[in-house]
Every structure is written in C-alpha cells, then in structure tokens.
Structure 1
Amino acid sequence: MFVHVVNFWLKKDLSEADRQKFVEGVKTLGNIESIKTFSVGPPAATDRPVIDRSYDFCELTVFDDAAGHDEYQVHPLHLKFIDDCKHLWEKVLIYDSESI
C-alpha cells in the first residue's frame, strides 16, 4: 500500500468563490482510477499539543503501490487541478509512505 498525504495552505486573501474553486478542483482528484481510498477536508476539531492544525485542507490518497501513485501524478485530472488551482495556495507539504 502507498499513502500520499497532501496538506494545503491557501492564500489568506482568497474570496469565498476562490476557496470553493479549490474545493471543487481538489475533489475531482477522487475520480482518478488508480486511487483506492480518497478523502479531503479541513483540519478536524481535535486539539492536542501534537496536532498541527495550521493547514487549510488535507488530501489523503491510498494506492495499491507506487506504480498507482506514479499514474496519479501524470493523470490529466491531477495536472488540470494543479494548473487551475496552483495560484490559490501559498504552501503545499506532502508525506508519502509505503506499508512495511
């Protein structure tokens, strides 16, 4: 199993329409065939010292293997999302992991 976690920090001065454009765009990624599990959302309401809640949205994708992840990276929906929405975020931080 290959897990790909993407945290997005959106620009602070975005309009509600721009935030909605981001949400609609990121949700399209769930239609990529190589994804086995997909979730996207804002930080949960949990609040403990070890939790980083500074990001605006977290995207979680799970693939069978690294090959599925590699397909996702070059998929037209992924490339379109980046082209359409990259101007909306100020920072992206990615964590990839593989099951042992």
Structure 2
Amino acid sequence: MKGISRRNFVKNTALATGAASIIGTAEAKPAKELFVHHVYFYLKNPSSEADKAKLLEGLEKLSKVPTIRMVHIGVPAPTTRSVIVRDYSISWLCFFDNLEEEEIYQKHPIHLKFVEDYSHLWEKVNVYDSVGPKR
C-alpha cells in the first residue's frame, strides 16, 4: 500500500463499509425512507486556508447531531470532465433515516449554533435534498 498511511486506510475502509451498509439498508427499506441532504458551501474568501479550516471545524461539530446516520465532508475532486462542477469550496453530505429525522437536524441546537457561528464565512450555499423515487 504505497502512498497511504495505515490511519487513512482504516478511515477509508470504515467509510466504504458505512456507505455499503447505508446502500444495503436503503435497498431493504422502501426507497422513500432514506433522506439525503447535500450542501455546497461557497466561501467569501475561497483562497483562505484559515477560512476553510474554520468551516471544517464547524462541520466536524455539526456532525454530532444525533439524527445523522452518516456524513461526508469533501472538497472538489481533481476531475476535469466537462460536466464536473468544481466551483464550491466544501461539500457537506449527510444521510438521515427519513424526512422527520432531517427536520429534527434542522432545528437541533448544534445546527442552529453552527449557522450562528460559521455563516459569516460563506457567501452562498446550494442545498440538494433528495429521497428515493416512488416505485
């Protein structure tokens, strides 16, 4: 395993296992049950590493909301196909068991504190919420 630390290997393995369990669970449940919340943050100062670090700090705190089943914090990948959007600074992807759990998250004190403490860092956010199609 050249180029990857043991810590990163373990972390990536855990993420892959978690994603696989969510996908497996989503298939076992009716599709409408899984609620996906994806937020793209556009920093006011996108070249500021300090602002990125501060927002990442806030998202780590936000990940403690108990109704979140799984979370992924990311930055634009180095892909260059014409359909790839890379103009955001940080993405926040989280999964909930259902819409009600996501609504609890929206009103949770940790989420409200996150918005209060960190919203000065971004100029805009795009939010994509999705549920499985009715079959």
What TM-score do the two structures reach when normalised by structure 1? 0.92
Mapping 1:7-86, distance limit 5 Å: 7-12=40-45, 15-86=48-119
In the alignment, does 2:120 pair up with 1:90?
no
Residues 13 and 62 of structure 1: CA distance in aligned 2, closer, same or farther (over 3 Å): closer
Give the Cα–Cα distance (whole angstroms) in 2 for the partners of residues 15 and 54 of structure 1: 15
Runs of 5+ unmatched residues, structure 2: 1-33
Q: Contact between 1:9 and 1:56, CA under 8 Å: does it hold in 2? A: yes
Give the Cα–Cα distance (whole angstroms) in 2 for the partners of residues 63 and 26 of structure 1: 16
Greater helix proportion: 2
Give the Cα–Cα distance (whole angstroms) in 1 for the partners of residues 101 and 113 of structure 2: 18
Runs of 5+ unmatched residues, structure 1: none
Mark the structure with the bigger radius of gyration.
2
Query: Aligned residues: percent identity?
Result: 46
Runs of 4+ deviating beyond 6 Å: none
What TM-score do the two structures reach when normalised by structure 2? 0.69
Residues 13 and 7 of structure 1: CA distance in aligned 2, closer, same or farther (over 3 Å): closer
Give the Cα–Cα distance (whole angstroms) in 2 for the partners of residues 10 and 96 of structure 1: 21
Deviation, 1:13, is: 6.8
Residues 14 and 74 of structure 1: CA distance in aligned 2, closer, same or farther (over 3 Å): farther
Residues 68 and 90 of structure 1: CA distance in aligned 2, closer, same or farther (over 3 Å): same
Residues 15 and 46 of structure 1: CA distance in aligned 2, closer, same or farther (over 3 Å): closer
Residue by residue, what CA displacement relative to the aligned partner does 1:13-47 show, whole Å, maximum 9, x if unpaired?
Answer: 77543332211001212111111110112111122
